[in-house]
């Protein structure tokens, strides 16, 4: 039987910085606690990147990556990427790109690192949109999880699966993706607890699937 998520969030008030916001959450996913940082502060981003790379065996690092943007209901119009989510182990980072005060030097160098394996569903499309919207390049090794699953498991039909389907097939987990959240305003300065939960889970599940398919977890 698939495992349902039990999620608890603790919200801490935004930092006192006048131009940048930071909030932290503990989100419990399948019995594992994920420490999630939501921020637009370049210094917080730099600290997260530094901590992850210092504590993790850098060569061959696997990073779950996902992006969110506000849906557009006007034909031919799309909104800019509002969030980029990254996950390594029990640490997730959500960067509010629309509210950054300047370029995230640490984030840019992290995304360009050729030794890092970035994993996600539709990751090439996300990478193209990041370049188009924000001039941010993902230069590390990119693995589309649907393609990777089809190749590693020798099941061509998995190429058509989204993250929810892959989570069920590979991790035995049922993901909840209500349209009230998927179609919500990802451009908002203050995100709801439900949005933060959703964003964290997407990045964490991407990381977990990537680790399993790349042979890091047995």
- Mean pLDDT by runs of 10 across the 218 residues of the chain is 41 47 89 92 93 76 96 83 97 95 80 94 97 93 97 94 95 90 94 95 97 79
Query: Domain with 54 in it: what CATH number?
Result: 3.30.420.10
**Cβ proximity of 201 and 178 under 8 Å:** no
pTM: 0.88
- What is residue 19's predicted lDDT score, i.e. its pLDDT? 58
- Beta-bridge mates of residue 23: 38
Q: What is the DSSP secondary structure assignment for residue 122, as one 8-state letter?
A: T
Q: For residues 18 and 148, what is the distance between their CA atoms, to the nearest angstrom?
A: 43
pLDDT digits (tens, 9 = 90+) for 115-124: 999 999 999 9
Domain count of the chain?
1
| Enclosing domain of residue 100 | 3-213
Read off the tokens for 21: 């916001």
- 11, 78, 209 from 74: Cα distances, Å: 34, 8, 34
**What is the C-alpha to C-alpha distance for residues 153 and 99, in angstroms, rounded to an integer?**
40
* Residue 46: inside a domain: yes
pLDDT at 31: 82
* Assigned domain for 86 exists: yes
In a domain, 8, yes or no: yes
Q: What is the pLDDT of residues 178-212, one digit of tens each?
A: 899 999 999 999 999 999 999 999 999 999 999 99
Q: Residue 195 falls within a domain, yes or no?
A: yes
The closest of 162, 160, 177, 171 to 205, measured between CA atoms, is: 171
**Domain contains 218:** no
């Amino acid at each position: 039987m698939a495992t349902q998520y039990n999620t608890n969030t603790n919200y801490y008030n935004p930092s006192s910085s006048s131009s940048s916001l930071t909030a932290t959450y503990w989100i419990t996913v399948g019995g594992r606690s994920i420490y999630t940082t939501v921020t637009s502060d370049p210094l917080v981003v730099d600290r997260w990147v530094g901590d992850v790379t210092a504590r993790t065996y850098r060569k061959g690092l696997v990073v779950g990556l996902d992006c969110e943007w506000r849906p557009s209901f006007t034909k031919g119009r799309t909104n800019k990427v509002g969030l980029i989510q990254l996950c390594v182990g029990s640490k997730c980072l959500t960067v509010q790109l629309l509210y950054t005060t300047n370029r995230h030097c640490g984030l840019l160098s992290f995304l360009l690192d050729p030794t890092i394996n970035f994993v996600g569903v539709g990751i090439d499309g996300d990478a193209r949109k990041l370049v188009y919207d924000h001039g941010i390049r993902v230069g590390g090794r990119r693995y589309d999880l649907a393609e990777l699953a089809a190749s590693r498991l020798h099941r061509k039909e998995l190429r058509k699966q989204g993250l929810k389907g892959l989570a069920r097939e590979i991790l035995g987990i049922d993901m909840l993706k209500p349209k009230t959240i998927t179609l919500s305003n990802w451009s908002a300065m203050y995100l709801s607890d439900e949005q933060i939960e959703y964003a964290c889970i997407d990045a964490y599940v991407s990381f977990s699937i990537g680790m399993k398919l790349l042979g890091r977890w047995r």
